[in-house]
A = this chain, B = another copy of it.
Amino acid sequence: MAGRTNTPGQSVSQRLLAILGCFDVAHPALSLTEVARRSGLPVSTARRLIGELHGWGGLERLDDGRYRIGMRLWTIGSLAPQQRGLREAALPHMHDLFQATQENIQLTVPEGDQALCIEKISSDKAVPTQTHIGGRLPLHATGVGKAILAFSGKELLASLAEEGLARLTPYTITQPGRLTAALAEVRRTGLAYSHEEMTLGAVSVAAPILGLDGTVRAALGIVAHSRTALDRLAPAVRTAALGIARSIG
């Protein structure tokens, strides 16, 4: 009886949500077969539910037959409250920072044991990154992640350490003791660095955006070529992050 239940309502809506959950930054377009595989649903069920989502405007069909998230879900998602105020307060500061540096500017918020990118400004000249709006970044290996982790409860670091700190490049900090020391320095200076710890060739500097009660609301970071002198960018990032914190009050 696995996968079946006497309350078909519950089961069907969970299947529908499972289909939406198949799509992410790494998988923005999926075929019916891929949706069925990723959701664990029979192809016939996936086909019917995709059809309903498509009819409602939640999915769009591409010319090659694959599906993408549609305008209707974008519109509904844009109603999510936290992002709204924070983004609107942050964007002017992010553009100032971009104009001054011409580097990748990222705004991220804590989400579970990762950092979620909610806004990004970039240009063709900036170093390529793996970051997209709606994408997630590891806390231990990125500037924005460390800025969040340093101002989060100790339990978060402990749980990350227990899961194991994944080695993403030869420079990733994978020893909890070294990470703890680095985070103390972040708290002392208000600045967090990543020296090719996430991506070879890219470095970053970030600053936390703290609420009035001292909790970390977000982190603002710059990602640049590894040849960049981050010391030159750090005061600008810190200034912009403080400006955003003041705007959100």
Contacts and interface: CB of A to CB of B under 8 A. Distances in A.
Contacts of A79: 23-25, 28, 68-69, 134
Max chain B Cβ within 10 angstroms of own Cβ: one of A13, A23, A48: A13
A83 interface: yes
Contacts of A74: 77-78, 80, 83, 118, 134
Interface string A101-124: 000000000010000101011110
In the complex this chain forms, how many copies of it are found?
Answer: 2
A179 to B, nearest CB: 26
A35 to B, nearest CB: 13
Chain A, interface residues (CB within 8 Å), range:
35 or more
A56 B21 CA distance: 10
Interface of A: 8-10, 12-17, 20-21, 23-25, 28, 45, 48-49, 52-53, 56, 58, 60, 68-71, 73-84, 88, 91-92, 95, 98, 111, 116, 118, 120-123, 133-134
12 contacts: A9-B45, A9-B48, A9-B49, A13-B16, A14-B56, A16-B17, A68-B79, A69-B80, A74-B78, A74-B83, A74-B118, A75-B116
